């Protein structure tokens, strides 16, 4: 890059960053995000996102000048970041000035005085000069970051991300600490405010992570070496202690976090069940199923019809007896779906399974079958799990009484859902390592070669559909008893899309990847309800970033790692 061109490129980069920041403002994200503070009474989440845009703009502009040589190279890089950040702020400042003079809201509904006030950091239109100044400083920070040594970049990045994480979930951590007692309550109020981290808490979190990161980089390798040289008994003891700690936290979490957090965890566990089921069909066997929500619905409706006390209830049996029936019915549905699509591959298979999912949803919600499935009214009055004996019902519309412990609250269903997810994860892991699992993977790689090697395609594919459907049916059964009612409108195509997305983000064919993907795509948006309307925008951005930066997923399987890294190595060798 020529020296006379780097300023022009920095200006263009800054204008692009300003356009992105303007887009974030006009879709309403800035105002919605500003309901949550990162540092209370200092900076909101919406303002933080805009400043992060300026920092990234300065960083990118500075990186573009890396080819420049000479004694003023560092000065040029800082100048590029400063100019890029300045231009980002200028674009936003012009937007605020234009909005003050012209009724932009006639075209852009989110161009409100409240937005202008957020952009100017509560100073109003008269303080619009603040935008270019703060953006220029942010761009300069982004450029200066690249000039730091690698040993300094890593701790600062980790500390910033950790502070951002603690601010996002400040409400969760505050509630958990307050429920521990008076002393913990004082700590909670010192570290967390009502809407974000306090200034004192921010300093503590930031510098604590920096110190820990520096110490770990200094002594971490020796600790890893010491652990690696432990005898087998020592390693086993460490694993048992880790599992014991995780188990202790898992058992006590719903009691200290409240019903909302427990329900979020139950929702994540249900998507883990569906994800593990689809991971068998798609991740192991390579059979793309876009109608997977149908099996989830079948499991839910089966439990609902067997345990409800409304006019559509059939037998009024207990939850524990209804769940195995729901799993078997879902397996039978997997068999019914598998038979007609055995010879279909690729995109055609996705379309066929998509049709199956829509058929099940429309039939369940239709007036034609309303006397069996409730139609638009759904199935209501689904019984909660009972650890004891259910009294016989007197009237068909009267709920049965539990003569034991009723698992009616989300904190109670939590244990059922998490136990089911752990059990199914163990089953999926054993299946992957079995002969059947290797047959599925052979089909995924090449059906013709697998058949030539003796794999029975019909039997193996049917087993993939049936076992995957059984896991989804179990998730639907728990969902029905958690909500207490089931409606066809709850079983939309987007549920299947979410399950496919969490497998891709977590890592195709990876069991831990399913868990990580469910936490990232289902749990985090549930905890951040104020940003839930932008969930699908964030989904799209996440998927694009994942495909570009980490296509194997957050926690990929060893096979996926070998395949992708082998391809990358082969490409580099050819070049």
> How many distinct structural domains can be found in the chain?
4
Residue with tokens 């798609």: 282
User: Model confidence over 345-387: pLDDT tens digits?
Assistant: 778 888 888 888 889 889 888 888 888 888 888 888 888 888 8
Domain membership of residue 204 (yes or no) is yes
Q: How far apart are CA 13 and CA 57, in angstroms?
A: 7
Structural contact between residues 299 and 322, judged by C-beta atoms closer than 8 angstroms:
no
DSSP 533: G
Alpha-carbon distance 340 to 348, whole Å? 12
**Inside any domain, residue 252:** no
For residue 7, name the pLDDT band (cuts at 50, 70, 90): confident
pLDDT, tens digit, 9 for 90 and up, residues 401-449: 677 777 878 888 999 999 999 999 999 999 988 999 899 989 888 888 8
Distance in angstroms (rounded) separating the CA atoms of residues 371 and 362: 15
Task: Mark whether 575 and 547 lie in a shared domain.
Answer: yes
| Residue 268 forms part of a structural domain | no
CB neighbour burial string for 532-570, b if at least 16 within 10 angstroms, e if fewer: eebbeebbeebeeebeeeeebbbbbbeebeeeeeeeeee
pTM score of the predicted model:
0.83
- For residues 9 and 527, which has the higher predicted lDDT (pLDDT)? 9
Tens digits of per-residue pLDDT, 512-557? 999 998 988 888 877 776 666 777 777 777 778 777 777 788 888 7
**Residue 274 domain flag:** no
Q: Please give the residue range of the domain that contains residue 132.
A: 1-147
Which of 58, 36, 57 lies closest to 47 in space, CA to CA? 36
pLDDT of 206 strictly over 90: yes
At residue 223, the pLDDT reads 62
Element (DSSP H or E) covering residue 380: strand 379-380
Do residues 127 and 203 share a domain? no
Side-chain half-sphere CA neighbours of 241 within 13 A = 6
Q: pLDDT tens for residues 266-285?
A: 999 999 999 999 999 998 88
Q: What are the structure tokens assigned to 105, written together?
A: 């809201």
Domain co-membership, 516 together with 464: no
pLDDT of residue 323: 92
Rounded Cα distance, 535 and 533, in Å: 6
How many whole angstroms separate alpha carbon 336 and alpha carbon 330?
10
So what's the pLDDT on residue 398?
57
- Given 470, 491, 512, which residue is the final one in a domain? 491
Helices vs strands, H then E, count in the chain: 25, 6
Does pLDDT of 193 surpass 90? no
Q: Please tell me the distance from the alpha carbon of residue 88 to that of residue 91, in angstroms, as a whole number.
A: 5
Element housing 145 (H / E): helix 130-147
What length does the chain have? 575
pLDDT confidence of 327, banded at 50, 70, 90? very high
3-state secondary structure of 388: coil
pLDDT at 85 over 90: yes
55 and 171 co-located in one domain: no
Last residue of a domain, one of 147, 169, 187: 147
Please, what sign has the CA dihedral across residues 27, 29, 32, 34?
negative
Say what the pLDDT of residue 570 is: 46
Categorize the per-residue pLDDT at 215 as very low, low, confident or very high, splitting at 50, 70 and 90: confident
Q: Quick one: CA torsion of 140, 142, 145, 147, rounded to 10 degrees?
A: -60
Residues linked to residue 274 through DSSP beta bridges, in sequence order = none
Tokens 């409304």 sit on residue? 310
Find the mean pLDDT for residues 456-483: 92
Question: Of 100, 132, 147, which one is at a domain's C-terminal end?
Answer: 147
User: 540 and 565 share a domain?
Assistant: yes
Q: Are both 169 and 74 inside the same structural domain?
A: no
**Of 312 and 178, more confident:** 178
Does 451 lie in the same domain as 346? Answer: yes
387: three-class secondary structure by DSSP: strand
Question: For the chain, what percent of residues have pLDDT higher than 70?
Answer: 89
Is residue 142 domain-shared with residue 157, that is, in the same domain? Answer: no
Residues 220 and 142 in one domain: no
Q: Are 377 and 370 in contact (CB under 8 A)?
A: yes
Q: What is the pLDDT of residue 312?
A: 55
Q: What is the pLDDT of residue 379?
A: 85
Exposure string of 416-431, with b = 16+ CB inside 10 Å and e = fewer, is bbbebbeebbeebeeb
Say yes or no: 109 and 161 in one domain.
no
Of the two residues 224 and 206, the one the predictor is more confident about is 206
Three-state DSSP state, 506: helix
Question: Can you read off the two tokens belonging to residue 47?
Answer: 């303002």
Mean pLDDT across 444-468? 89
Query: Burial level of 397, CB count in 10 A (0-12/13-18/19+)?
Result: exposed
> Which residues is 25 bridged to in the sheet?
none
pLDDT of residue 311: 55
Compute the mean pLDDT over every residue in the chain, rounded to the nearest whole number: 83
Are 137 and 12 part of one and the same domain? Answer: yes
Average pLDDT of the segment spanning 60-87: 81
Residue 262 falls within a domain, yes or no? Answer: no
**pLDDT one-digit tens code per residue, 234-267:** 777 877 888 788 887 778 878 777 788 888 889 9
* Confidence band, pLDDT 50/70/90 cuts, at residue 18: very high
Q: Which residues contact 61 (CB under 8 A, 6 or more apart)?
A: 9, 10, 13, 14, 80, 81, 83, 84, 139, 143
| Angle value at C-alpha 138, between 86 and 171, nearest 5 degrees | 135
% pLDDT > 90, the chain: 25
Residue 264 in domain: no
Beta bridge partners of 344: none
Q: Give the whole-angstrom CA distance, residue 504 versus residue 178.
A: 37
67 — pLDDT class (breaks 50, 70, 90): low
Residue 75 placed within a domain: yes
Q: Which of 326, 335, 370 is closest to 473 using CA atoms?
A: 326
pLDDT at position 2 is 53
- Asked whether residue 263 is domain-assigned, the answer is no
The confidence score (pLDDT) of residue 455 equals 87
Shared domain for 389 and 419, answered yes or no, is yes
Q: Residue with structure tokens 């497998």? A: 503
């Amino acid at each position: 890059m020529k020296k006379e061109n780097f300023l022009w490129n920095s200006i263009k980069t800054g204008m692009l960053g300003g356009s992105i920041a303007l887009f974030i403002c006009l879709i309403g994200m800035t105002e919605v995000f500003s309901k949550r503070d990162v540092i209370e009474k200092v900076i909101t989440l919406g303002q933080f996102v805009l400043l992060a845009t300026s920092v990234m703009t300065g960083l990118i502009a500075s990186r573009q000048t890396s080819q420049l040589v000479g004694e003023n190279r560092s000065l040029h890089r800082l100048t590029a970041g400063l100019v890029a950040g300045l231009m980002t702020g200028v674009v936003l400042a012009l937007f605020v000035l234009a909005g003050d003079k012209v009724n932009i809201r006639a075209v852009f509904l989110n161009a409100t005085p409240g937005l202008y006030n957020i952009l100017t950091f509560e100073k109003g239109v008269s303080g619009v000069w603040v935008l270019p100044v703060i953006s220029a400083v942010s761009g300069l920070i982004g450029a200066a970051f690249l000039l730091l040594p690698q040993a300094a970049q890593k701790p600062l990045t980790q500390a910033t991300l950790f502070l951002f994480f603690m601010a996002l979930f400040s409400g969760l951590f505050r509630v958990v600490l307050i429920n521990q007692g008076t002393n913990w309550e004082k700590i909670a109020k010192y570290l967390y405010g009502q809407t974000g981290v306090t200034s004192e808490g921010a300093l503590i979190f930031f510098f604590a992570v920096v110190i820990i990161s520096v110490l770990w980089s200094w002594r971490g390798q020796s600790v890893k070496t010491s652990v690696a040289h432990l005898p087998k008994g020592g390693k086993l003891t460490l694993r048992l202690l880790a599992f014991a700690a995780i188990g202790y936290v898992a058992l006590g979490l719903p009691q200290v976090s409240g019903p909302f957090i427990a329900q979020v965890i139950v929702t994540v566990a249900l998507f883990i069940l569906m994800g593990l089921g689809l991971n068998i069909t798609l991740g192991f066997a390579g059979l793309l199923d876009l109608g997977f929500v149908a099996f989830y619905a079948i499991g839910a409706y089966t439990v609902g019809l067997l345990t409800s006390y409304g006019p559509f209830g059939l037998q009024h049996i207990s939850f524990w007896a209804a769940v195995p029936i729901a799993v078997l019915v879902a397996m039978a549905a997997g068999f019914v779906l598998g038979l007609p699509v055995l010879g279909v591959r690729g995109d055609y298979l996705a379309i066929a399974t998509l049709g199956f999912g829509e058929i099940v949803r429309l039939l369940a919600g239709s007036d034609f079958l309303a006397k069996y499935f409730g139609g638009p009214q759904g199935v209501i009055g689904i019984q909660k799990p009972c650890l004891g004996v259910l009294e016989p019902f007197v009237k068909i519309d009267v709920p049965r009484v539990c003569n034991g412990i009723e698992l009616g609250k989300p904190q109670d269903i939590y244990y059922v859902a998490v136990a089911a997810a752990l059990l199914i994860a163990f089953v999926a892991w054993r299946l992957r390592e079995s002969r059947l699992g290797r047959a599925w993977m052979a089909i995924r790689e090449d059906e013709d070669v697998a058949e030539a090697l003796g794999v029975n395609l019909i039997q193996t594919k049917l087993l993939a559909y049936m076992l995957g459907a059984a896991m989804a049916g179990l998730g639907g059964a728990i969902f029905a008893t958690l909500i207490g009612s089931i409606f066809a409108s709850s079983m939309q195509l987007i549920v299947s899309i979410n399950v496919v997305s969490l497998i891709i983000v977590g890592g195709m064919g990876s069991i831990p990847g399913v868990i990580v993907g469910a936490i990232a795509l289902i749990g985090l948006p549930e905890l951040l309800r104020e940003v839930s309307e932008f969930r699908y925008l964030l989904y799209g951005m996440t998927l694009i970033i994942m495909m570009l930066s980490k296509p194997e997923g957050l926690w990929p399987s060893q096979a996926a790692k070998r395949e992708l890294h082998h391809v990358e190595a082969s490409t580099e060798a050819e070049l």
